[in-house]
């Protein structure tokens, strides 16, 4: 598989390399060691879920508070979607930046997102199914909602008609308003959560046994 960085820090595009034969094709969707080498983070899946949507459904932008956080790997397993990642981490070198990934069942392209990043997608076909591999289980009340049509973000949806959205997504604040309210994670917080500081207060039992 080919793993490349996106324009958003700590978000990666994962493109499988299919092997075709007379029966069809085979490809590796994910490989732990390859992902670890590219991202510096091990893959630990705690929850798997799916969304199924009609065409022109716009979901997101959704993120998760820290704690608990929720990194994710998102793949389109049926249909097609225009997927956008947005950096929601205040103080990040790419705060407010975005990148776009075209996802469909044929390509198998996945998007790997670290804690603190936001996800949104517009479905391009009926019965589009998106698969999420999540590093934490969902905790009610921890979702961060940002308006996917925030004019300051200027996400390139190229809409030809009004999208279908949930009432909650339609009422979500802009990124600037969310930052002013203090509901966004900080980049420093995300780094600490990603790389926990060892507890040096505990006794060194190994030293005692030497």
Other Cβ atoms less than 10 A from the Cβ of 122: the count is 24
CA distance 10 to 122: 22
Say which of 62, 98, 121, 187 is annotated catalytic: 62
**Active-site residue, from 12, 121, 132, 187:** 132
Retrieve residue 78's tokens: 């049926």
Measure Cα distances from 6 to 53, 78, 84, 171, 197 in Å: 26, 23, 11, 28, 27
Sheet strands side by side (includes 143-145)? 98-104, 80-87, 117-123, 58-64, 143-145
Q: Which residues contact 169 (CB under 8 A, 6 or more apart)?
A: 58, 59, 60, 145, 147, 148
117: its two tokens: 């990043």
- Alpha-carbon distances, residue 74 vs 8, 24, 101, 132 (angstroms): 16, 23, 11, 5
> Residue 62 catalytic?
yes
* Opening angle at CA 124, ends 21 and 144, nearest 5: 110
**Which residues have a catalytic role annotated?**
62, 132
């Amino acid at each position: 598989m080919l793993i490349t960085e996106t324009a958003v820090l700590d978000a990666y595009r994962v493109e499988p390399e299919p092997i075709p034969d007379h029966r069809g094709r085979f490809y590796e969707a994910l490989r732990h060691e390859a992902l670890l080498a590219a991202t510096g983070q091990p893959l630990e899946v705690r929850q798997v879920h799916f969304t199924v949507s009609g065409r022109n459904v716009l979901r997101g932008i959704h993120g998760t508070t820290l704690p608990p956080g929720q990194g994710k790997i998102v793949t389109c397993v049926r249909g097609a979607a225009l997927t956008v990642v947005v950096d929601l981490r205040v103080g990040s070198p790419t705060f407010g930046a975005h990148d776009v990934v075209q996802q469909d069942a044929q390509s198998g392209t996945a998007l790997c997102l670290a804690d603190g990043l936001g996800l949104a997608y517009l479905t391009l076909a009926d019965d589009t199914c998106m698969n999420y591999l999540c590093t934490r289980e969902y905790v009610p009340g921890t979702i961060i909602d940002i308006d996917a049509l925030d004019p300051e973000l200027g996400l390139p949806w190229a809409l030809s008609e009004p999208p279908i959205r949930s009432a909650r997504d339609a009422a979500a604040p802009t990124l600037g308003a969310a930052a002013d309210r203090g509901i966004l994670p900080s980049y420093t917080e995300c780094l600490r959560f990603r790389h926990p500081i060892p507890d040096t207060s505990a006794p060194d039992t190994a030293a005692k046994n030497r």
